[in-house]
Amino acid sequence: MKDRKLSRQQSRTRWLILLCFPVILVLIVASISILLPDASLLKTQYPIMSYSKGEAGQTLVDVEFAKSRPSWWTSLEAIPSWVQGAVITSEDWAFFDHQGFDIAQIQDALEDRVRGRGRLRGASTLSQQLVKNVFLKQDRTWSRKLKEALLTLDLESDFSKKEILGFYLNVVEWGPKGIFGIAKASRYYFQKSPSMLNPREAAFLAFLLPNPTRYSESFRKKKLSAFASRQIHRNLQRMKQGHFITETQFEYYSNEPLSFEEHVETSEEAEEELVEETTDSSLVEIPVHGVDEPEDAFIEGNVSDPTKDLE
């Protein structure tokens, strides 16, 4: 008899917990929502990212909001389509299709974890990364993840995809020494404005995003590592697959070195050396950049503009 009573009490307790859990969850979400920053702040102010030192000497990321547009802030219209495409295809391929969360990527990440394929890999979208960088601390707690999810929903409802992408490109970190935003990254790595970046430079910048300080080691050494070369090539492949660059541009920029690399012989220089070493250059058939182009694509040794197709 006592066992039956105990069993009934346990059953009632379980049902009570099940009934109360949704209510408790709603109360938790509501209380967190009240304390959340307002994502619509981005409608009237510009986030400015910088580094500072904490009390324990750790590096912290600070965010200040300015009412006037900073001089280095770059409009999306001034950023080439292949720069936008390099970031989208490497970080968040479904950016224009989801509502802030890429469910397929989340499922894949969880399956990899369950199958023991290493650490749980990230599945954050550009929208999630933006709210985390601008509005939240960098701690890894469940409350922070919940705040991130709620803010992402607010962001997606308040702004268009192009607006979100514009914000992201201007605040994301691209390297050491507080290099935040596409304008500072363009100047630091290539001494040019974002509008002048070519597809290979765009692929390099996209390669940096998962770990800017570590991956920018190739820039400091003035030579791409084997890993960096592979990733940049993969980014170019993704850009071609996403129709952000043409087949001709893919072939051309797959073989051109970046400007910061210590002297790497380009195909043009190889051609010039071959001509100089040949007594009669007219008898030498010189391949041009390894690209299958019609005969009139290259005239008098001048390479036709590889970016004209997307202008």
pLDDT at residue 28 in the model:
45
| Torsion, CA 197, CA 198, CA 204, CA 207, rounded to 10 | 90
pLDDT by residue, tens only, the chain of 311 residues: 555 655 666 565 665 556 554 544 444 444 444 568 899 999 999 999 998 887 777 888 899 999 999 999 999 999 999 999 999 999 999 999 999 998 887 777 677 666 765 554 457 999 999 999 999 987 778 888 899 999 999 999 999 999 999 999 999 999 987 899 999 999 999 999 999 999 999 999 999 999 999 999 999 999 999 999 999 999 999 999 999 999 999 999 999 999 999 755 544 444 444 334 333 333 333 233 333 333 232 222 222 334 444 33
Alpha helices by DSSP H, listed for the chain, are: 2-35, 81-91, 103-114, 126-135, 142-158, 161-171, 182-190, 199-208, 212-215, 217-221, 226-241, 247-255, 267-276
Contact between 205 and 185 (Cβ < 8 Å): yes
| Cβ-contact 309, 248 below 8 angstroms | yes
If one counts every other C-beta atom within 10 angstroms of the C-beta of residue 83, the result is: 27
φ/ψ of 68, rounded to 5, equals -95, 145
**φ, ψ dihedrals at 136, nearest 5°:** -125, 160
**Which one, of 166, 144, 143, lies nearest residue 155 by Cα?**
166
Tokens 């201007």 -> residue: 170
Q: How far apart are CA 108 and CA 104, in angstroms?
A: 6
What CA–CA distance (Å, rounded) separates 271 from 174? 35
Residue with tokens 């391949």: 287
Contact in structure between 292 and 235 (CB atoms under 8 Å): no
Q: Which of 113, 152, 162, 104 is nearest to 129 (CA)?
A: 152
d(CA 172, CA 170): 6
Residue type, 286: I
Domains assigned to the chain: 41-197 (1.10.3810.10)
**Structure tokens belonging to residue 108:** 């894949």
- Residue 46's closest CA among 130, 170, 174? 170
Q: Which of 93, 92, 87, 180 lies closest to 128, judged by CA?
A: 92
Per-residue DSSP letter, 121: -
- Closest of 180, 158, 177, 157 to residue 168, by C-alpha: 180
